Amino acid sequence: MHRRTKIIATLGPATSSPEMLSKLIDAGMDIARLNMSHAKTEDVRQAVEHIRRLSTEKDRRVGILMDTQGPAIRTGDLLNALDLSPGDRIALTVRGEVSEEEQSVDVNYEHLVDDISVDDIVLVDNGNIQLKVLEKHYNHLSCEVLTEGVLGSRRHINLPGIRVNLPALTEKDMADIKLGIELNVDFFAMSFVREADDVVKLKGILEYNQAPQKIVAKLEDQQGVSNLDEIIEVADAMMVARGDLGIECPYEELPIIQRRVVKHCIRMGKPVIVATHMLESMIKSPSPTRAEVTDVANAVFEQADAVMLSGETSIGQYPLQCLEVMDRIARRIERSGGAGYAAEADPGDDFAKIVQSACSLAMEVEANGLILFTRTGRTVRYGACHRLSNIPIYAFTDNPVVLNQMTLYWGACGYMIDFDDTDPANNFKAAMQLLREQDILKHGDAIVSVTQVLAHGQLVDTVQMHRVE
């Protein structure tokens, strides 16, 4: 049985060479992530070229996810890092203000003073440094240091629970999206999605450019959580980005939010990714902690479409071992069952009901496979949301773009064939022949398919069951 849960690996200095990319593909990488917060344009071009070439050579499809930086609030450059102790005063300045405070740092968000209130908490450097706002001035905030830390240049700032006036897409994001369209990446991950309109803006850009990329909306703050269902409705997929989300929300809420997102995505028929800190200790250690094993296992048990590695494969010392660990955990947990969220799956249109019927039939007859044909990926997405634990989905398309995008769908194995529009029966014959040639199916196997037949001169969607002869 092939692994149902897909694995996304972030590329970086540790995994940029063609040799390491080849090993990652052999070890089971389904999607390569390009983190545009750090990646340079030329590095991105080379990575895409290497992945496409290796994917073709190995006859193993690998998707490419370009992750935009998003509208991040950061501190400015410092000549020297600031050693902060509890009780110290520090000024956060905007618009180039020069503060009389002994310690100060500029912030790139000019509306900071407008959005924040006295007694609010500012989290800096992934929450390692906590500041309390004591006074507001025209162009700076006077803050008290609550936790000890060293503040360096360009550190990320989080403002939990505070609605900020940031654009959905920055100038850098727009330039990176233009590059991604040019390079024909498969997915754009949109950072800090706060409401459905953020995704709609990016959709409009893609439609204007006639670009086929799918949009993965990253859930990273409380506002996004509040608008969860509306965001899922317009996005092509979701990502539980637990790094910023764990800072923006109370940490004890994070597992509940993760479970809620996975459950709602499965119910609404949208792919979902669980990301960040999954095997964090393996950046420096060749083996995971027991807690990390359980964390990955929980995401697999919840039946997320994909789990993601970040620093573990981009800058870590053991990128290949990380992928092997994740693959090993996923395969074992998948054999033990799942959370059962698919019982509520209801993507909502008539054709989805036909696919649901096929999934039900496949389970009743204990089929050896479900064959689906698609030009857009929709049929396969509908089939994947029912989480057929012991029944692989063999997905056939005539579109190479869709073939790449199916690397995100839970349980789906994608194949390319030429479709016969005059007689759909020939498509099924071609699919069966391919699976027989690859020794995937054998005599007596039961197969359920969603296909079309000609009836009175019209194409009609049907669910069929076959025995391999």
**What architecture is domain 73-158?**
Beta Barrel (2.40)
CATH number of 345-467: 3.40.1380.20
Domain boundaries, the chain: 6-70+168-334, 73-158, 345-467
Q: Render pLDDT for 331-341 as a digit per residue (tens, 0 to 9).
A: 999 999 999 99
For 27, half-sphere exposure in the C-beta direction (CA atoms, 13 angstrom radius) is 22
- At 339, list the tokens: 């959370």
HEC secondary structure over the chain: CCCCCEEEEECCHHHCCHHHHHHHHHHCCCEEEEECCCCCHHHHHHHHHHHHHHHHHHCCCCEEEEECCCCCEEECCCCCCEEECCCCEEEEECCCCCCCCCCEEEECCCCHHHHCCCCCEEEECCCCEEEEEEEECCCEEEEEECCCEEECCCCEEECCCCCCCCCCCCHHHHHHHHHHHHHCCCEEEECCCCCHHHHHHHHHHHHHCCCCCEEEEEECCHHHHHCHHHHHHHCCEEEEEHHHHHHHCCHHHHHHHHHHHHHHHHHHCCCEEEECCCCHHHHCCCCCCHHHHHHHHHHHHCCCCEEEECHHHHCCCCHHHHHHHHHHHHHHHHHCCCCCHHHHCCCCCHHHHHHHHHHHHHHHCCCCEEEEECCCCHHHHHHHCCCCCCCCEEEEECCHHHHHHHHHCCCEEEEECCCCCCCCHHHHHHHHHHHHHCCCCCCCCEEEEEEEEEECCEEEEEEEEEECC
Q: Please state, in angstroms and rounded to a whole number, the distance separating the CA atoms of residues 159 and 161.
A: 6
Q: Render pLDDT for 441-455 as a digit per residue (tens, 0 to 9).
A: 999 999 999 998 766
Active site residue 381: no
Query: To the nearest whole percent, how much of the chain has pLDDT over 90?
Result: 91
- What is the domain class of 6-70+168-334 according to CATH? alpha beta
Q: How high is the pLDDT of residue 99?
A: 75
Q: How high is the pLDDT of residue 408?
A: 98
CA 282 to chain centre: 20
Q: Please state, in angstroms and rounded to a whole number, the distance separating the CA atoms of residues 228 and 260.
A: 9
Is pTM beyond 0.85? Reply is: yes
Lowest mean pLDDT among 81-95, 96-110, 249-263: 96-110
Q: What mean pLDDT is predicted for residues 398-422?
A: 96
User: Are the beta carbons of 78 and 111 closer than 8 angstroms?
Assistant: no
Q: Render pLDDT for 22-80 as a digit per residue (tens, 0 to 9).
A: 999 999 999 999 999 999 999 999 999 999 999 999 999 999 999 999 998 999 999 99
Give yes or no for residue 259 having a pLDDT over 90: yes
Q: Render pLDDT for 93-138 as a digit per residue (tens, 0 to 9).
A: 998 877 777 899 999 999 999 999 999 999 999 899 999 999 999 8
Torsion, CA 269, CA 341, CA 276, CA 154, rounded to 10: 60
Active site residue 290: no
In this prediction, residue 1 has a pLDDT band, given cuts at 50, 70 and 90, of low
Active-site position among 6, 194, 214, 218: 218
In this prediction, residue 212 has a pLDDT band, given cuts at 50, 70 and 90, of very high
Give yes or no for residue 459 having a pLDDT over 80: no
Q: What mean pLDDT is predicted for residues 428-434?
A: 95
- Strand-pair category, 306-309 with 89-93: unpaired
* Integer CA distances (angstroms), 258 to 21, 177, 235, 240, in order: 30, 27, 17, 6
Active-site position among 4, 6, 33, 270: 33
Q: Render pLDDT for 303-331 as a digit per residue (tens, 0 to 9).
A: 999 999 999 999 999 999 999 999 999 99
Q: How high is the pLDDT of residue 421?
A: 84
Active site residue 462: no
Q: Render pLDDT for 138-164 as a digit per residue (tens, 0 to 9).
A: 899 999 999 999 999 999 999 998 988
Q: Please state, in angstroms and rounded to a whole number, the distance separating the CA atoms of residues 313 and 11.
A: 6
Active-site position among 23, 74, 378, 436: 74
Active-site position among 276, 313, 379, 397: 276
Q: How high is the pLDDT of residue 275?
A: 98
- At 144, list the tokens: 């008290």
- At 159, list the tokens: 């403002």
Active site residue 218: yes
